């Protein structure tokens, strides 16, 4: 079993371990952090345990055959758990994989560029090492910080579904972003 470990100038992106449970639970039960990620928001320690089990189980088997890549964002020196990032494989075709990513970060780390740094490395991994031909991202339209992270990483705004879903207490619109492998390669001088 080959584990995925990625590094950036300020982050270690590594696969989940069982000893991440306390920090993971604290993060995904935080209503401020998870406000825009209601499908992952945990209401109990048991739910957090189930979520961590899914994250940890994603690392077994050949990385090329995985349906999920879920990674911890950690401080490379202290090992501190800072958040999570990853993607789900939505489609496999002769062209490769189409994946959709998500991320969340402890509040104390917001506004320091960590999400952009982690996403940039995740995109590199998806395109260069995991056979992705397209990477998608989405956010509730009023989640301007998440939209900005995607735009900084070169994803293209592809449209908005107006009043698309019930979110917390009202109907909200959803924004859609995507980037193709050839676009990413062009942006990074690889073509």
User: pLDDT band at 30, cuts 50/70/90?
Assistant: confident
Say yes or no to pLDDT of 65 above 80: no
- Domain containing residue 141: CATH number: 3.40.630.30
**Would the pLDDT of 23 be above 60?**
yes
The most distant pair of C-alpha atoms in the chain lies apart, rounded to whole Å, by: 48
What is the domain extent for residue 153?
A: 5-187
Number of domains in the chain: 1
pLDDT in tens, 123-146: 999 999 999 999 999 999 999 999
**Cα 180 from Cα 173, distance rounded (Å):** 24
Partners of residue 160 on adjacent β-strands: 175
Q: Give the long-range contacts of residues 123-130, CB within 8 A, separation 24 or more.
A: 123/153, 123/154, 123/179, 123/184, 124/188, 125/4, 125/6, 125/69, 126/69, 126/87, 126/97, 126/99, 126/101, 127/181, 127/184, 127/185, 129/63, 130/63, 130/64, 130/69, 130/97, 130/99
pLDDT digits (tens, 9 = 90+) for 140-161: 999 999 999 999 999 999 999 9
């Amino acid at each position: 079993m080959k584990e995925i470990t990625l590094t950036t100038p300020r982050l270690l992106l590594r696969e989940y371990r069982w000893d991440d449970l306390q920090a993971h639970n604290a993060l995904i039960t935080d209503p401020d952090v998870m406000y825009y990620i209601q499908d992952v928001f945990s209401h109990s320690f048991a739910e957090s345990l189930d979520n961590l089990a899914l994250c940890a189980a994603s690392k077994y088997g050949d990385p090329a055959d995985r349906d999920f890549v879920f990674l911890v964002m950690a401080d490379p020196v202290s090992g501190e758990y800072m958040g999570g990032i990853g993607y789900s494989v939505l489609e496999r075709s002769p062209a490769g994989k189409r994946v959709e990513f998500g991320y969340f970060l402890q509040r104390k780390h917001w506004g320091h560029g960590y999400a952009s740094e982690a996403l940039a490395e995740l995109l590199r991994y998806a395109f260069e090492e995991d056979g992705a031909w397209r990477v998608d991202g989405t956010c509730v339209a009023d989640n301007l910080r998440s939209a900005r992270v995607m735009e900084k990483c070169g994803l293209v705004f592809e449209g908005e579904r107006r009043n698309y879903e019930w979110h917390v207490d009202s109907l909200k619109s959803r924004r859609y972003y995507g980037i193709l492998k050839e676009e990413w390669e062009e942006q990074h001088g690889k073509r």
